[in-house]
Chains A and B, each alone.
Chain A
Amino acid sequence: MNEYIVDVDKVTVRFNKASENIDNLKEYFVKLVRHELMFKEFLALKDVDLKIRPCEAWAIIGTNGSGKSTLLKVISRILKPYKGSVKVNGTVASLIELGAGIDPKLTARENIYLNGCILGYSKKFVQSKFDEIVEFSELEDFLDTPVKNFSSGMKSRLGFSVATMVKPDILIVDEVLSVGDVLFRKKCMNKMNEMLADGTTLLFVSHNMETCKDMCDHALWLNKGEVVMSGEIGPIADEYLTTIEARKAKEKAQKKKKQQELDKKAKEIAARKAAKQ
């Protein structure tokens, strides 16, 4: 058997970054005649390797647009890699966005069944877990209310409860916990920790380094689609923070310089004005 539970091998993901997306026949033919059909390549991930052993918890860090979400989407089979391969041995519960399959016109009860089925469970199985889900989501009083009348916090509670009804082999979490009140967030964290203790492998994306350090033992640092560092979380987190700090300092310095120049110019203008008078 493979020793890795998630094996991402030299994965490259390609997007078309053409100035405008052609999605209708008319434009297609016009561009075809004018020879303007172009394909501007944009690589969201470049040769990314990620090998995860069971029971590890990985944090994926990096600035905005570095390919973190793309990587999670590749692992949860939503995106197909352009090159390379992804092997996942086990069930995946991906919390990329909570309540992706929620239909606002249906009631909470109907949505629980629908979402459970979208995750690939049978109706019977969802039925057996129904009470547990309702209890965790704290929505007992709103079961037969159409979800369109729910607040966003209630919706995400529903989504999280359905998505985590079963202990998956791999749990993928993408900054979903930023919604919801403090109490529920804490409850979610507890549930995640419980799963971790139970032997679930975790993939976690967050900008909050403290949470990352708390939850994870490994980290993968991405920058513009490339792996900067990967391994134990301690050194990577420190290195990441220093880089960010350095960049912040640099930006600050640049800003200061600019401000000084502006001040200088303003003084000159004022001086000239004074001289004229």
Chain B
Amino acid sequence: MEEKKFRFKEGSFLELLNYKDLLYQLVARDIKLKYRRSFLGYVWSILNPLLIMIIMSIVFTLLFNKKTEYFPVYLMCGRTVFEFIKTATTKSMDAITGNASLLKKTYVSKFMFPMSKITASMVDFVFSLGAMVVLMAALSLIDGVFLFSWKNIGIVIVIIEAYIFSMGLGFFLAALDVFFRDIKYIYNAILTMWLYMSAIFYNIGLFYDRAAKQKKLGETQTAYILAKFIDYCNPAYIYIKQFRAFVWSPVISDVPFWQVMAPKDFILGFGYAFLMFFIGVAVFRKTQDKFILYI
């Protein structure tokens, strides 16, 4: 006979721990259903980012005159990280409204639903790194140099940062979606803007070049302000930058390991992650009792 133990307070974030087996079940279900349904399964899921990478690499190498070395790797780093934040947050946005029938009939920690979506996306993100491996292996073969480095392990830090950040944003959006269903469309527009502001297919150096030109002409250096803004205030870019420091930078130059990651990015990265996390959890906790009246 087992006693149901409820060690953590009802409605708190830590209450999730009372249901950790359920979290595992829900995440496993999402992953299983995703790969069970498609014909090629896992191969398909890494084929898709590879194809997109090839198309974008061709387009953007033709478009920009300033060349970025190993552009496919550069691009892939940005896309993988951004794609994770995007899928995790959009999926968790539907988590409460999509499980309305369940929430009306049983009591479960409400944090469970966004949390399981975000965690499933995180696992998916780790799986999708296979595409990165394929790409780098192919480039290693073509160029005859071994592009992998032990510094690549550092991406674990980025995954943790992005995971915490996505949780915060995901909880916030999940709560908001209950009260305002059209927030989805607004968030979609925001995501597009965010994508262009995250220096995924261009190099942020472009802005500094432009600023230098503006300076020469005596104009206000708007490009400089924009570049600084992206550099300091866009968490997605901070994660992408760190990811590149661990994967792309070792490919193009042999930086000593203590210079791999800028401490500024590390502090800002975790700072934004925890800030977003606490905002998200606080909003979710405050509003969760009213969910049932709106779903």
CA distance A23 to B6 in the complex (A): 33
With both beta carbons as reference points, the residue of chain A lying nearest to B101 in the complex is identified as A100
Residues of chain A within 8 A (CB-CB) of B26 are 114
Task: Write the B257-295 contact mask toward A (1 if CB under 8 angstroms, else 0).
Answer: 000000000000000000000000000000001001110
Contact partner of A78 among B1, B106, B294, CB < 8 A? Answer: B106
Cβ contact within 8 Å between B102 and A106: no
Residue in chain A with minimal CB distance to B295: A23
Q: Are A120 and B4 in contact (CB under 8 A)?
A: yes
Partner of A122, one of B21, B292, B293: B21
**Is A26 in contact with chain B by the CB < 8 A criterion?**
yes
Residue B108 CB within 8 A of the other chain: yes
Contact of B33 with A by CB under 8 A: yes
Whether B180 lies near A24 (C-beta < 8 A) is yes
Assess whether A56 is interfacial by the CB under 8 Å rule.
no
A78 touching B107, Cβ below 8 Å = yes
A106 CB contacts on chain B under 8 angstroms: 29, 33
Give CA–CA (A91, B106) in the complex, Å: 13
Q: Is the CB of A118 within 8 A of B180?
A: no
Would B179 and A23 count as touching, CB distance under 8 A?
Answer: yes
Which residues of the other chain, A, contact B22 by a CB distance below 8 angstroms?
114, 117-118, 120
Select the residue from B3, B10, B180, B186 with max chain A CB neighbours within 10 A.
B180
Q: Flag if A78 contacts B4 (CB, 8 Å).
A: no
Interface string of B80-118 (1 = CB under 8 A from A): 000000000000000000000111111110000000000
- In the complex, what residues of A have CB within 8 A of residue B42's CB? none
Which residues from B are CB-within-8-Å of A122? 2, 21
How near does chain B come to A88, taking the closest CB pair, in angstroms? 11
Decide if B180 touches A28 in the complex (CB within 8 Å).
Answer: yes
In angstroms, Cα B21 to Cα A119, docked, is: 11
CB distance from B255 to the nearest CB of A (A): 45
Contact status of A117 and B105, CB under 8 A, knowing A25-B183, A79-B292, A105-B33: no
Residue of B nearest to A124 (CB): B21
Q: Is the CB of B29 within 8 A of A110?
A: yes
Of B10, B106, B294, most A-chain CB atoms within 10 Å: B106
What sequence of 0s and 1s flags, for each residue 6-22 of chain A, a beta carbon within 8 Å of any chain B beta carbon?
A: 00000000011000010
Q: Which residues of chain B have C-beta atoms less than 8 A from A79's C-beta?
A: 292
The size class of the interface chain B forms with chain A is 20 to 34
Nearest B-chain residue to A125, judged by Cβ: B2
- Partner among A25, A80, A94, A120 whose Cβ is within 8 Å of the Cβ of B186: A25
How distant is A113 from chain B, measured CB to nearest CB, in Å? 6
Instruction: Among B1, B4, B25, B104, point to the contact of A123 (Cβ < 8 A).
Output: B25
Closest beta carbon of chain A to B172's beta carbon, Å: 15
Q: Quick one: closest A residue to B6, CB to CB?
A: A120
| Chain A residues in 8 Å Cβ range of B108 | 118, 120
Kindly state the separation between the CA atoms of A154 and B102 in the bound complex, as whole angstroms: 19
- Does A21 lie within 8 Å of B18, measured CB to CB? no
A140 contacts across to B, CB distance below 8 A: none
B210 interfacial contact with A, CB 8 Å: no
Name the B residues within 8 Å of A15 (CB-CB): 293
CA distance A26 to B180 in the complex (A): 9
CB pair A94–B183 under 8 Å, yes or no, is no
A76 proximal to B (CB < 8 A): yes
Partner of A113, one of B18, B19, B25, B182: B25
Write the chain A residue with the least CB distance to B178. Answer: A23
Over the window 117-134 of chain A, the binary record of Cβ atoms lying under 8 Å from chain B Cβ atoms (1 yes, 0 no) is: 111111101000000000
Contact B4 A77 (CB under 8 A): no
A23 partner, pick from B107, B181, B186, beta carbons under 8 A: B181
Give the shortest distance, in Å, between B209 (CB) and chain A (any CB): 40
Q: CB of A143 within 8 A of chain B? A: no
A23 to B2, CA, bound (A): 42
Indicate if the CB atoms of A114 and B25 lie closer than 8 Å. Answer: yes
- The yes or no answer to A96 lying at the interface (CB within 8 A) is yes
- The yes or no answer to A103 lying at the interface (CB within 8 A) is yes
When chains A and B are docked, how far (Å) is the Cα of A267 from the Cα of B35? 75
In-complex Cβ contact of B29 among A96, A97, A103, A120 (8 A) = A103
Candidates A24, A91, A123; contact of B182 at CB < 8 Å: A24
Q: Are A96 and B105 in contact (CB under 8 A)?
A: yes
Q: From the candidates A23, A121, A125, name the one contacting B294 in the complex (CB within 8 A).
A: A23
When the two chains form their complex, are residues A119 and B106 in contact, meaning their CB atoms are under 8 A apart? Answer: yes
A101 at the interface (CB under 8 A from B): yes
In Å, the complex CA distance between A28 and B294 comes to 14
22 pairs, CB–CB < 8 Å, chain A vs chain B: A23-B179, A24-B180, A25-B182, A25-B183, A26-B182, A76-B106, A77-B10, A80-B289, A100-B101, A105-B33, A106-B29, A114-B26, A114-B29, A117-B21, A118-B108, A120-B18, A120-B19, A121-B2, A121-B21, A122-B2, A122-B21, A123-B21
| Nearest 6 A/B pairs, CB to CB | A100-B105, A117-B22, A24-B182, A77-B107, A25-B180, A123-B21
List 8 additional contacts besides A24-B180, A77-B107, A123-B24; criterion CB under 8 Å: A16-B293, A24-B181, A78-B106, A96-B105, A100-B101, A100-B105, A106-B29, A114-B29
Residues of B within 8 A of A (CB): 1-4, 6, 10, 18-19, 21-22, 24-26, 29, 33, 101-108, 179-183, 186, 289, 292-294
